[in-house]
Amino acid sequence: MQRADEKFDKILGQWRRYFKKRSTSIDTTIIPSAILDSWNRSKEKNINPYIKKNSVLLEGRQLRELLEVNSELINISIPFMKNLHSCVAGSGYILALFDYQGYLLELLGDEDIVNYVKPSNFVIGSCWSEDIMGTNGAGTAIVEVKPVQIFGPQHYCICSRHWSGSGAPIHNPEGKLIGAIALTGPYEVTHAHGLGMVAAVTYAIENSMRVRKALTEVNIAKSYQETVISSIPEAIVAIDNDANVTLINHHATEIFGLPSGQVAGRQISDICNKDNQNFISMIMENESLIDAEVTILKNRNSYKYTLTCNSITTSNQKTIGKIIILNEINRAKTLVNNMTGAKAKIKFDDLIGDEIKFLETIEMAKLISSSVSNVLLLGESGTGKDVFAQAIHNESNRSNGPYIAINCAAIPRDLISSELFGYSDGAFTGSRKGGSQGKFELADGGTLFLDEIGEMPLELQAILLRVIEDKSITKIGGDRTTSVNVRIIAATNKDLKEEIRNKKFREDLYYRFSVFTLKMIPLRERKEDIPILAQYFVQKISNAINKINVKINDDVLAGLKEYSWPGNIRELQNVIERMIYIAKDSTLTVDLMPQEIIINNYVQKSNNELSESNNGTHKLILSMMQSHIPKTKIAEKLCISRSTLYRLLREY
């Protein structure tokens, strides 16, 4: 409710901005362009956005003629509308059928809701075309000739402000627009799949028209229902209160090794062999489950699935059965990894540099990639440990598997265990129903990159060691082990041997990680690569912000080579980005460089002069002042007081 209200308020603010302030500056992240286009069309038609009821209403003979002309559309649509309405009954939704002009032909909904909308003339015979009522689910779907969803104040007129409507157009077999279906309800209970359900119903209606001469309406509805259920990639089983199977799709019969068409009416316990009693118990003993893990045994093999189970209720909240959904875990992992970007993007060909030590590091990394052993990447912050980890994964035989990265220093100490290993249902207060998979399970078959491994708590290191040795994990709050096939690439900027001596890192874990150790080359040891990297970042960043033909001055490149780069490549990228943003033209010059770099370079170049005479000091001070470096910074870098600085200036 709170989220819906927040969304409502944001949209209402834009509505007021558009109508009351007459502003054309509308936030299209809140008001999609299709809605804004509809507002503009409605405004051009001089429609009053403040009308409180529909004034175009057919009655008597005109209404009878309207219904007669559209009788075929009405008769074909009603069964499908009833089928969809049965799914949303009691939720405050109304399902409405319209002709191609936007006239309301049929209305299905709970009696109290139907009565509630009568004052605004949302009744059979009223016209809800966009030309009459502005932006609305049915009218806009007819104009756009595609499914649309209108939320709350996205409606043009205030009489529809507190409703959410999903509309989809209907075409006859010849492709002519003949009407629309709309699912309308209070904005507070907007259905996440409302638009999809309406589109599915319109598809069913159109399909029914195409095959009406060959099949009866009942067979059409049944055939469509079975097609939809079978097309769903998950296995679906519905049971009644007596645990009799009332519906099962093809994927479910395959899981249980059953012949199609011989399951309906049988007990759920009959279609599962005796080894799957845990599955039966989970279904019968829980009112609701969401993505709980379950193992199904078939032909002496075990298969892992996520189990979702929910009660089926009538409009008066009477439970009449359960719907069971099984999703293969490997498929679910693939989906999660795709959605969360669990994929390595960098390859060795993407790495930039010609310095011999760097090239030797790449060659060693390529050799490491072909192994199955764990890898430890050592190096200062900003040297590209994460980049090498991705490249190693993409070069390995696990490249088609997931790549999961986790920063051990970025996760709170009390959460890192559940992040790595997951947790079972009810493991702790506030835990997700059905539990959650950890990074090890998500990385199964691929690579797990443990960045900042030196920050991992000592007590967790012992658990991690056992996981590496046993190749299995036990979730927090669970008692069942799950095998995992994961290659670990760990990285740290710490001296782990020193950490071992200080009792902050386990020696046995270190040797488990360091089968292969790869040391990253700091940027100060790659002086000849600095111009190449700088030019790369100039091109990358300038393209990203649409700054054309940005060039970097040779003096800047020379200055960049002189600097020691304690932050390595990451610092270099940040410096280039800053210079591009503050540059007034397309050339990056020395005056754009950070003062810290300029000062360091001056001091470094003039160390001998400083030690030999005050004349050298004077020259350095003058040079730094000509570069607009503040006197306070000059004194600080020369390790002298400001009074001494002023004395030297007077002497000079």
Quick one: pLDDT at residue 319? 86
Inform me whether the pLDDT recorded for 271 exceeds 80: no
Q: Is residue 459 situated within a structural domain?
A: yes
Per-residue model confidence (pLDDT) at position 616:
47
Residue 12 lies in a domain: no
CATH code of the domain in which 58 resides: 3.30.450.40
Give the residue from 547, 568, 593 where a domain finishes: 593
- Using pLDDT thresholds of 50, 70 and 90, give the confidence band for residue 75: very high
In a domain, 245, yes or no: yes
Q: Can you tell me the distance from the alpha carbon of 613 to that of 590, in angstroms, rounded to the nearest whole number? A: 27
Same domain, 54 and 199: yes
- pLDDT, mean of residues 205-209: 89
- 163 in a domain, yes or no? yes
**Which pair of tokens denotes residue 261?**
């068409």
Q: Say what percent of the chain tops pLDDT 90.
A: 44
Per-residue CA distances from 130 to 52, 69, 165 (Å): 16, 22, 14
Residue 610 pLDDT class (50, 70, 90 cuts): very low
> pLDDT category, 225, cuts 50, 70, 90?
low
Environment class of 128 (CB within 10 Å of its CB; exposed 0-12, middle 13-18, buried 19+)? buried
506 and 535 belong to one structural domain: no
Over residues 315-369, the pLDDT tens digits come to: 788 888 888 888 876 655 555 555 444 578 999 999 999 999 999 999 999 999 9
Residue 360 is part of a domain; what is its CATH number? 3.40.50.300
Q: What is the CATH number of the domain that holds 265?
A: 3.30.450.20
116 sits in which H/E element? helix 111-117
Q: Are the beta carbons of 596 and 630 closer than 8 angstroms?
A: no
pLDDT at residue 207 above 80?
yes
Q: Specify if 227 maps to a domain.
A: no
**For residue 608, what pLDDT band results from cuts at 50, 70 and 90?**
very low
Domain membership of residue 39 (yes or no) is: yes
Place of tokens 């286009």: 37
Provide the total of helices (H) and of strands (E) in the chain, helices listed first: 28, 19
pLDDT of residue 261: 64
CB contact set of 647 (below 8 Å; sequence gap of 6+): none
Kindly state the DSSP code that residue 525 receives in the 8-state scheme: G
Least confident of 130-134, 160-164, 379-383, 431-435: 431-435
Distance CA 36, CA 15 (A): 10
pLDDT at 478 (0 to 100) = 78
Judgement on whether residues 424 and 297 belong to the same structural domain of the protein = no
Give the phi and the psi of residue 597 in degrees, each rounded to 5.
-70, -45
Number of domains in the chain: 5
CA 386 – CA 394 distance, rounded (Å): 13
For residue range 80-124, what is the model confidence (pLDDT) as tens digits? 999 888 887 888 889 999 999 999 999 998 888 888 888 899 999
* The pLDDT of residue 488: 94
Q: Are strands 487-492 and 447-451 parallel, antiparallel or unpaired?
A: parallel
* Token pair in block for residue 627: 């570069």
Give yes or no: residues 630 and 580 share one domain: no
Q: Is pLDDT above 50 for 44?
A: yes
Average pLDDT, the chain: 84
Predicted pLDDT of residue 518: 95
Residue-level pLDDT at 612? 43
Instruction: Tell which of 168, 189, 222 closes a domain.
Output: 222
Residue 541 shares a structural domain with residue 583: yes
For residue 605, give its domain range.
599-651
DSSP per-residue letters across 474-514: E-BT---EEE---EEEEEESS-HHHHHHTTSS-HHHHHHHT
Domain boundary among 222, 248, 280: 222
Query: Using CB atoms within 10 A of its CB, is residue 202 exposed (0-12), middle (13-18) or buried (19+)?
Result: buried
Question: Would you state the pLDDT for residue 142?
Answer: 95
pLDDT digits (tens, 9 = 90+) for 125-134: 999 999 999 9
Q: What was the pLDDT predicted at 3?
A: 73
Position 265 confidence tier, pLDDT thresholds 50, 70, 90: confident
Establish if 252 belongs to a structural domain. Answer: yes
241 and 212 within one domain: no
Read off the CATH number of the domain in which 529 is found.
Answer: 1.10.8.60
Work out the average pLDDT over 522-550: 92
440 and 296 in a common domain: no
pLDDT class for 156, splitting at 50, 70, 90? very high
Same domain, 504 and 531: no
Domain match, 261 and 312 both: yes
The torsion angles phi and psi of 185, rounded to 5 degrees, stand at -160, 175
Whether 404 and 442 have beta carbons less than 8 Å apart is answered as yes
3-class SS of residue 302: strand
> Domain check: are 515 and 528 in the same one?
no
Task: State whether 320 and 238 are in the same domain.
Answer: yes
CA 637 to chain centre: 48
Residue 262 is predicted with a pLDDT of 67
Q: Is residue 342 part of a domain?
A: no
Give the tens place of pLDDT for each residue, 562-604. 889 999 999 999 999 999 999 989 999 888 888 778 766 655 5
Are 539 and 499 in a shared domain?
A: no
Query: Does pLDDT of 395 surpass 70?
Result: yes
More confident residue, 23 or 314: 314
Q: ∠ CA 89-94-98 to the nearest 5 degrees?
A: 140
